[in-house]
Amino acid sequence: MSEILKIIQERHSSRASFDREHQPTKQHLLQILEAARWAPTAHNMQNFEIIVVDDENQLEMLGNIKFRISEDFLRENYQQLSFSEEELIQKKAGILGTMFPLSWITPDEWSKVAHDGEPSSLNQTIKGSPTLLIVTYDARKRAPASGNDILGFMSLGCVMENMWITAQALGIGFQIISVLSGNSVEQEVKRILEIPGYMRIAYAVRLGYPISEPSKFLRVRRDVIELAHHNRFGYKDFV
């Protein structure tokens, strides 16, 4: 049990550039996909398909897709930020603002970033990853009695966690990319990868091996005593 908890605690987003020449092996990819296969899903619907992209031409076409950061993202992202390690330690939740470009954490710059600045390309997001996993789901289906298919999205989260923990155990860098599910980007990705119209992209994953030591960011979590309630809400005697 201690080994499992250690892997969970060490799991992190690999934001560094990956070595394009160092592919995860097919055996390791199959282990990650096997972990996805056994993820719990609502009513055992297994409403997901995973596209493994490791062809250089396909990766190049995906990398050339242009997109803009929305003001909504910048605003909502800003609300989760701390601007010093001391503040982050005190909050025990969120992330450091220093992880983002200065324009992203300067409210007066948001309109320029979203509308006037040079569009970003997916190459900047993919960062040399030799393998992408594109996780899709059939939008025509939803878990029974699940408003807005919340149970379906929880299931996709379980798929994500299973793959992530397995990649961590294998020593493979792993980072979730959410931009591929944005409307304009999603349509281009679907065209390039010939994904049927009724399928939606939930998220993508960068897989690979960092070409340099990843930056060390302060990681924080609330203590168990802060999040656990005993028998009734507000009773904190569990720990």
- Check whether 72 has a pLDDT greater than 80: yes
- Give the pLDDT of residue 117: 78
Domains (ranges, CATH) in the chain?
2-68+128-208 (3.40.109.10)
- Check whether 51 has a pLDDT greater than 90: yes
Q: What is the mean pLDDT of the chain?
A: 94
- Give the pLDDT of residue 116: 86
Query: What are residue 174's DSSP bridge partners?
Result: 207
Question: Could you tell me the CA-to-CA distances from 107 to 82, 99, 103, 110, 196 in Å, in that order?
Answer: 15, 16, 8, 5, 38
Reported as a pLDDT band with limits 50, 70 and 90, residue 216 is confident
Report how far residue 190's alpha carbon sits from residue 180's, in angstroms, rounded to the nearest whole number: 10
3-class secondary structure, 206: strand
Q: Give the number of residues written for the chain.
A: 239
What does the pLDDT look like over 154-186, one tens digit per residue?
999 999 999 999 999 999 999 999 999 988 899
Task: Kindly give, in sequence order, each residue whose CB lies less than 8 Å from that of residue 188, ignoring residues fewer than 6 positions away.
Answer: 65
Instruction: Give the DSSP H or E segment for 208.
Output: strand 199-208
- Give the pLDDT of residue 83: 93
Instruction: Give the DSSP H or E segment for 66.
Output: strand 66-67
What does the pLDDT look like over 124-136, one tens digit per residue?
999 999 999 999 9
Nearest to 35 by CA among 214, 211, 207, 220: 207
Torsion angle defined by CA atoms of residues 37, 42, 44 and 50, in that order, rounded to the nearest 10 degrees: -30
- Give the pLDDT of residue 61: 97
- Check whether 42 has a pLDDT greater than 90: yes
What's the whole-model pTM score? 0.93
- Give the pLDDT of residue 4: 92
Residue pair 144/34 in contact (Cβ under 8 Å)? The answer is: no
Reported as a pLDDT band with limits 50, 70 and 90, residue 10 is very high
- Check whether 197 has a pLDDT greater than 90: yes
- Check whether 78 has a pLDDT greater than 90: yes
Report how far residue 196's alpha carbon sits from residue 185's, in angstroms, rounded to the nearest whole number: 15
- In the predicted model, what is the mean pLDDT of residues 32-61? 97
**Cα torsion angle, 177, 179, 181, 187, sign:** negative
- Phi, psi at 59, each rounded to 5°: -65, -35
- Give the pLDDT of residue 238: 77
Reported as a pLDDT band with limits 50, 70 and 90, residue 118 is confident
Report how far residue 108's alpha carbon sits from residue 100's, in angstroms, rounded to the nearest whole number: 15
- Check whether 239 has a pLDDT greater than 90: no
